[in-house]
């Protein structure tokens, strides 16, 4: 449960100042390595956070892979020219499972040849890979995600949703989510939530599943989703834990024919 912090202020410089930074060769950023390779190391360079993003990326790789990214004898010119291709090669060389896909994506945000393409410390701190397990996969699992849409403000949907939730006694979380549009539902999946059961309550009095129309000039009246809309929304790639879909009191015969057509 402890937190490990790596801190080294031995040669720290303020961001924006012009200086000739001290460094260890195999953690040297490509833009500085290029100056040294071209025999321009005496020229001061503006200190940027991207230097730290690069070095931190190499340290993260070393912690995950158990070996340095560059060896002690690496040439400055190799650092200056081969960063992007070197990362791809290193990842392929490692035994399968050494570095996960999220960790590989993190490294690709940091070990970039072009400094402006490297993520900042603030951006990196919000990556899921830096969250605790309780904040990632386990917490994203939901027993029930109950979506409700009430475009005409004349339906009492909460009672039926509460009755539905009372049936499930699983310890996993249950969440009631307003989703007036299909894209609102998609946003829940895109944020990483993994429901086992989805309930839609968005019907009008005649019984059809109903969502608000989207796009410029759309009215507040409801719109029926198509079969393609629902298939792309609830496909295994987007909702891998999904097992059950409830359409509460929704008239779905026509929709089911369209799905199976």
Looking at per-residue confidence, does 64 or 5 come out higher? 64
pLDDT for the residue 188:
78
Distance between CA atoms of residues 153 and 160, nearest Å = 16
Position 48 in a domain:
yes
* DSSP H/E element including 145: strand 141-148
203 pLDDT above the threshold of 70: no
Q: What mean pLDDT do residues 205-225 have? A: 63
Of 102, 129, 156, the domain-final residue: 129
75 and 114 in a single domain? The answer is: yes
The CATH number linked to 230 is 3.40.50
Of 129, 160, 178, the domain-final residue: 129
pLDDT confidence band for 135 (50 / 70 / 90): very low
Give the structural domain span for 80. 18-129
pLDDT confidence band for 1 (50 / 70 / 90): very low
Q: What mean pLDDT do residues 3-17 have? A: 69
Is the CB of residue 190 less than 8 Å from the CB of residue 237?
Answer: no
Backbone torsion region of residue 249, taken as left when φ is above 0, otherwise alpha when ψ lies between -120 and 50, otherwise beta:
left
Cross-strand pairs, 222: 212
Position 8 in a domain:
no
pLDDT per position as a tens digit, 156-192: 666 667 777 777 665 566 777 767 677 878 887 777 7
Q: What mean pLDDT do residues 199-214 have? A: 65
pLDDT confidence band for 261 (50 / 70 / 90): low
pTM: 0.48
Position 6 in a domain:
no
Looking at per-residue confidence, does 136 or 130 come out higher? 130
Q: What mean pLDDT do residues 95-122 have? A: 87
Of 109, 129, 149, the domain-final residue: 129
Q: What mean pLDDT do residues 57-68 have? A: 91
161 and 202 in a single domain? The answer is: yes
Q: What value, to the nearest 5°, has the Cα angle with vertex 210 and ends 204 and 211?
A: 135
The CATH number linked to 40 is 1.10.510.10
Query: Tokens representing 207?
Result: 């019984």
169 and 94 in a single domain? The answer is: no
pLDDT per position as a tens digit, 66-93: 999 998 889 999 998 887 788 889 998 8
Average pLDDT over the chain reads 76
**Among 16-25, 196-205, 226-235, whose mean pLDDT is lowest?**
196-205
123 and 191 in a single domain? The answer is: no
Cross-strand pairs, 94: none
pLDDT for the residue 134:
45
146 and 108 in a single domain? The answer is: no
117 and 45 in a single domain? The answer is: yes
pLDDT confidence band for 58 (50 / 70 / 90): very high
Distance between CA atoms of residues 145 and 189, nearest Å = 10
pLDDT for the residue 61:
93
Position 12 in a domain:
no
Among 94-98, 124-128, 226-230, 243-247, the range of highest mean pLDDT: 94-98
162 and 248 in a single domain? The answer is: yes
103 and 189 in a single domain? The answer is: no
Cross-strand pairs, 195: 142
Rounded to 5 degrees, what are φ and ψ at 46? -75, 130
Distance between CA atoms of residues 112 and 42, nearest Å = 24
Distance between CA atoms of residues 180 and 54, nearest Å = 43
């Amino acid at each position: 449960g402890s937190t490990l912090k790596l801190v080294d202020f031995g040669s720290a410089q303020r961001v924006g100042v012009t200086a000739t930074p001290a460094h260890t060769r195999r953690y040297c950023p490509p833009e500085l390595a290029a100056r040294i390779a071209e025999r321009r190391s005496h020229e001061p360079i503006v200190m940027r956070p991207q230097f730290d993003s690069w070095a931190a990326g190499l340290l993260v790789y070393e912690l995950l892979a158990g070996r340095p990214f560059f060896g002690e004898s690496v040439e400055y010119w190799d650092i200056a020219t081969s960063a992007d291709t070197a990362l791809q090669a290193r990842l392929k060389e490692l035994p399968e499972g050494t570095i996960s896909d999220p960790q590989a994506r993190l490294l690709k945000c940091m070990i970039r040849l072009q400094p402006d393409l490297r993520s900042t410390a603030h951006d990196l701190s919000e990556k899921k890979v830096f969250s605790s397990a309780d904040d990632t996969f386990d917490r994203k699992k939901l027993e029930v995600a109950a979506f409700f849409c009430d475009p005409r403000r004349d339906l009492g949907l909460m009672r039926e949703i509460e009755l539905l939730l009372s049936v499930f006694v699983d310890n996993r979380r249950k969440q009631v989510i307003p989703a007036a549009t299909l894209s609102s539902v998609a946003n829940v999946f895109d944020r990483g939530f993994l429901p086992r059961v989805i309930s839609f309550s968005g019907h009008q009095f005649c019984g059809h599943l109903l969502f608000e129309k989207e796009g410029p000039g759309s009215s507040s009246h409801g719109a029926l989703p198509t079969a393609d809309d629902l298939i792309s929304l609830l496909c295994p790639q987007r909702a891998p834990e999904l097992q059950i879909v409830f359409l509460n009191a929704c008239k779905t015969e026509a929709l089911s024919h369209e799905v199976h057509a």
